[in-house]
């Protein structure tokens, strides 16, 4: 399901992104693990262990409001001399419209381009060049409209090909390129990042999902005023320099993450098929025809509409005096004018599903099944039992692992995730088919486990165990500033920061009957969409390990070396620690490396099972 992104060297973009250290990302990142990250983060918002007191679980958030509409959330903590600071704009891809899909994510990039005093050596010359660029772009757009007309008439096949461009358009491109070169003469690249880094800041990044766009960094406690100035300046005086160059960067990002990965383009189409009316059906990264068509003027309008104070929440977690911090934040952020009109809300609701949808695709990957059911959004009363349901099915002690991997032995991986977004939700189950088994066998086995949940009593100790295990792990994340900041930001971006404190007791109150009720209500045939991925004919070379399908030529030798090393490792506990570390970092870095990371993790787990088997040789 879509959601994603962030920034690479500080601009990797999440769907996105401390996408690795952060949040929910979207299907355009190509990885189904992305939704699992979203599920884990959702869990951290809602689960409290009975072994822990409710008072110990409370995050002491103080809410304040600035005169111009900003909401300020403060969490005072003196355990470390640092502050995790950032803000969330309540705008994501769901707030877009056809023709400008991807603009919310594009803005994530543009907000790092600087201000009149950051990012340039000559502000006046800089603005003059930007005005000249836009004048030429207006002429280029007129030519592009004529090319699209020719495309509709069948006179050209591809308006992006050089053969389709008129002589006038080529002349305009040459003139625009000269302005790009002139702009580079006054640019100071990455100055926004460098100022923070020089002052001891770390972890600066951003992300975009369907529902929000977030920005964050950790700074030393004595650099709070620097944070206030930097963040308020880029909201008050943003300069969207290199707009069209950055637009091209985003388009290339889309190509890398969606079109150049084994299942990216299929997952994107499956998501579009799953949602009928809701704007969730387009990807956060945007459609390929929309990204290169977005104009700077459209971006300026989008900024004025959605980046106004009453649509933004400021968040500080760390070592500060609340009264002093509030005064300092007010001093800097109150300079920003209040918006003239409130941003429009998403009003298009998803229509009821009246029949099962099925999607078949051949991909350069191992056969797998992906099933989605429409469910409920963030804070809905049924979201809590759905969260418990996904915990019962997932993980090494979950029913899918016991039933499909250890029991029937039809799958090598299987899991579930409840994705409660702001406006709607989806429940997903997925599984990878074991060699020699069929997709039909795996799909049937998934349904059998779900039917068991619906119709057979769930032992009370099993229900309590998943609550306690997950809660204990998430509770430990409350010991540092950034994880707390992350929870508050995500909860506020989805609708209400109070969910970080209020949802735990609601989830603890979930009963066996609640879980069975939501399973029977939502996980039904007419409400689901099923994607069946089979291996593309000829994708595996004769005699090649089928697990290597979809990897690059450079990655395959790495797997072989890892397998050789694993065959000599006899310490299961050591491998278990490595597996847990790998799983925690599974969505980090380049999405093109994700198939390699998943495969290595699978090989490590398989070796662990071999060592745990009764016949396995063990170290004395």
Residues of the domain holding 139: 123-186
Q: What are phi and psi of 169, to 5 degrees?
A: -65, -40
In a domain, 145, yes or no: yes
Both 457 and 483 in one domain: the answer is yes
Is the pLDDT at 539 greater than 70? The verdict is: no
What pLDDT sits at residue 309? 97
Question: Scanning the structure block, which residue is given the tokens 């398989």?
Answer: 606
In a domain, 318, yes or no: no
Considering only 143-152, 337-346, 521-530, which range has the smallest mean pLDDT?
A: 143-152
Is the pLDDT at 383 greater than 50? The verdict is: yes
User: Within 25-67, where are the H helices?
Assistant: 33-46, 54-57
Cα first-last separation, the chain: 47
Collapsed DSSP state (helix, strand, coil) of residue 48: coil
**CB 239, CB 115: distance < 8 Å:** yes
Residue 198's CB is within 10 A of a number of other CB atoms, namely 9
pLDDT mean across residues, the chain: 85
- CA dist 142 to 22, 139, 298, Å? 41, 5, 15
In a domain, 106, yes or no: no
In a domain, 581, yes or no: yes
What pLDDT sits at residue 543? 44
With a pLDDT cut of 90, the percent of the chain lying above it is: 59
Is the pLDDT at 615 greater than 70? The verdict is: no
What pLDDT sits at residue 517? 98
Both 561 and 525 in one domain: the answer is no
Both 396 and 497 in one domain: the answer is yes
Both 374 and 398 in one domain: the answer is yes
Question: Scanning the structure block, which residue is given the tokens 């600035």?
Answer: 66
Considering only 10-19, 215-224, 389-398, which range has the smallest mean pLDDT?
A: 10-19
Both 452 and 478 in one domain: the answer is yes
Residue 470's CB is within 10 A of a number of other CB atoms, namely 23
Q: How confident is the model at residue 21 (pLDDT cuts 50, 70, 90)?
A: very low
Q: What is the mean pLDDT of residues 55-71?
A: 87
What pLDDT sits at residue 16? 36
What pLDDT sits at residue 545? 61
What pLDDT sits at residue 598? 79
How many domains is the chain partitioned into structurally? 3
Is the pLDDT at 343 greater than 90? The verdict is: yes
What pLDDT sits at residue 586? 62
What pLDDT sits at residue 260? 78
What pTM did the predictor assign? 0.80
Is the pLDDT at 115 greater than 50? The verdict is: yes
Collapsed DSSP state (helix, strand, coil) of residue 359: strand
What pLDDT sits at residue 10? 27
Considering only 198-212, 330-344, 571-585, which range has the smallest mean pLDDT?
A: 571-585
In a domain, 340, yes or no: no
Q: How confident is the model at residue 358 (pLDDT cuts 50, 70, 90)?
A: very high
Is the pLDDT at 369 greater than 90? The verdict is: yes
Both 378 and 495 in one domain: the answer is yes
Is the pLDDT at 496 greater than 50? The verdict is: yes
Residue 415 to residue 567: CA distance in whole angstroms? 27
Question: Scanning the structure block, which residue is given the tokens 């903590």?
Answer: 77
Is the pLDDT at 370 greater than 70? The verdict is: yes
Q: Dihedral of CA 268/273/275/281: which sign?
A: positive
**DSSP code, position 350:** P
What pLDDT sits at residue 556? 72
**CB 418, CB 41: distance < 8 Å:** no
Q: What is the Rg, in whole angstroms, of the alpha carbon atoms belonging to the chain? A: 25
What pLDDT sits at residue 162? 78
What pLDDT sits at residue 34? 38
Both 375 and 496 in one domain: the answer is yes
**DSSP code, position 346:** P
Both 490 and 593 in one domain: the answer is no
Give the residue from 515, 534, 553 where a domain finishes.
534
Q: What is the mean pLDDT of residues 33-40?
A: 42
- Convert the pLDDT of each residue in 129-157 to its tens digit: 999 998 998 888 888 888 888 888 888 88
- Convert the pLDDT of each residue in 297-328 to its tens digit: 999 999 999 999 999 999 999 999 999 999 99
In a domain, 594, yes or no: yes
In a domain, 293, yes or no: no
Report which listed range, 1-15, 80-94, 458-472, is most confident.
80-94
- Convert the pLDDT of each residue in 1-11 to its tens digit: 433 333 232 23
Kindly state the tokens that stand for 68. Answer: 């111009």
Q: What are phi and psi of 365, to 5 degrees?
A: -155, 165
What pLDDT sits at residue 335? 97
Both 436 and 391 in one domain: the answer is yes
Both 366 and 505 in one domain: the answer is yes
Collapsed DSSP state (helix, strand, coil) of residue 8: coil
Kindly state the tokens that stand for 231. Answer: 């963040």
In a domain, 364, yes or no: yes
Give the residue from 158, 186, 214 where a domain finishes.
186
Residue 172's CB is within 10 A of a number of other CB atoms, namely 20
What pLDDT sits at residue 549? 62
- Convert the pLDDT of each residue in 424-457 to its tens digit: 999 999 999 999 999 999 999 999 999 999 999 9
Domain of residue 404, CATH code:
3.30.830.10
What pLDDT sits at residue 204? 95
Answer with the residue of higher pLDDT: 546 or 234: 234
Both 503 and 562 in one domain: the answer is no
Both 501 and 581 in one domain: the answer is no
What pLDDT sits at residue 153? 84
Give the residue from 186, 204, 236 where a domain finishes.
186
Is the pLDDT at 277 greater than 80? The verdict is: yes
């Amino acid at each position: 399901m879509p959601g994603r992104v962030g920034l690479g060297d500080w601009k990797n973009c999440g769907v996105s992104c401390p996408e690795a250290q952060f949040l929910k990302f979207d299907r355009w990142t190509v990885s189904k693990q992305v939704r699992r990250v979203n599920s884990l983060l959702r869990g951290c918002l809602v689960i409290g262990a009975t072994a822990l007191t409710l008072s110990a679980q409370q995050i002491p958030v103080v809410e304040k409001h600035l005169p111009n509409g900003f909401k300020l959330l403060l969490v005072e903590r003196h355990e470390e001399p640092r502050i995790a600071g950032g803000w969330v704009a309540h705008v994501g891809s769901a707030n877009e419209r056809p023709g400008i899909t991807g603009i919310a994510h594009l803005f994530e990039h543009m907000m790092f381009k600087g201000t009149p005093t950051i990012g340039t050596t000559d502000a006046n010359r800089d603005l003059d060049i930007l005005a000249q660029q836009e004048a030429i772009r207006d002429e280029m757009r007129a030519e592009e409209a004529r090319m699209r007309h020719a495309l509709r008439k069948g006179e050209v096949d591809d308006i992006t090909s050089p053969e389709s461009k008129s002589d006038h358009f080529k002349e305009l491109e040459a003139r625009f390129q000269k302005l790009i070169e002139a702009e580079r003469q006054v640019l100071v690249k990455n100055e926004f990042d460098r100022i923070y880094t020089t002052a001891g800041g770390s972890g600066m990044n951003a992300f975009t999902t369907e529902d929000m766009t977030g920005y964050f960094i950790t700074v030393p406690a004595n650099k709070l005023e620097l944070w206030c100035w930097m963040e308020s300046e880029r909201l008050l005086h943003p300069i969207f320099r290199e707009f069209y160059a950055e637009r091209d960067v985003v388009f290339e990002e889309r190509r890398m993450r969606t079109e150049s990965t084994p299942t990216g383009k299929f997952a994107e189409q499956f998501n579009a098929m799953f949602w009928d009316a809701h704007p969730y059906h387009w990807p956060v990264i945007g459609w390929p025809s929309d990204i290169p068509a977005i104009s700077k003027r459209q971006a300026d309008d989008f900024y004025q509409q959605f980046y106004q104070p009453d649509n933004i929440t400021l968040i500080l977690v760390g070592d500060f005096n609340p009264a002093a911090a509030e005064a300092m934040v007010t001093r800097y952020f109150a300079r920003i004018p209040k918006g003239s009109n409130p941003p429009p809300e998403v009003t298009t609701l998803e229509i009821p599903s009246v029949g099962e949808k099925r999607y078949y695709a051949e991909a350069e990957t191992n056969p797998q099944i992906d099933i989605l059911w429409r469910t409920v959004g963030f804070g809905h009363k049924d979201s809590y039992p759905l969260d418990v349901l996904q915990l019962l099915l997932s993980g090494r002690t979950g029913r899918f692992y016991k039933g499909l991997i250890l029991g029937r032995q039809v799958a090598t991986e299987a899991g579930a995730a409840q994705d409660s977004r702001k406006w709607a939700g989806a429940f997903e189950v997925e599984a990878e088919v074991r060699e020699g088994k069929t997709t039909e066998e795996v799909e049937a086995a998934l349904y059998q486990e779900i039917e068991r949940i619906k119709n057979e009593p769930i032992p009370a100790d099993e229900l309590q165990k998943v609550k306690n295990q997950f809660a204990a792990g998430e509770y430990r994340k409350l010991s540092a500033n950034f994880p707390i900041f992350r929870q508050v930001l995500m909860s506020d971006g989805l609708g209400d920061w109070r969910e970080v404190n209020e949802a735990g007791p609601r989830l603890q109150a979930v009963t066996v009957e609640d879980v069975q009720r939501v399973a029977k209500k939502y996980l039904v045939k007419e409400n689901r969409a099923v994607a069946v991925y089979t291996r593309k004919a000829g994708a595996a070379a004769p005699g090649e390990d089928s697990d290597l399908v979809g990897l690059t030529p450079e990655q395959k030798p790495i797997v072989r070396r890892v397998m050789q090393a694993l065959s000599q490792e006899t310490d299961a506990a050591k491998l278990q620690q490595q597996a847990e570390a790998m799983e925690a970092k599974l969505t980090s870095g380049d999405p093109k490396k994700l198939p390699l990371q998943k495969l290595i993790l699978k090989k490590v787990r398989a070796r662990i099972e071999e060592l745990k088997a009764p016949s396995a040789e063990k170290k004395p």
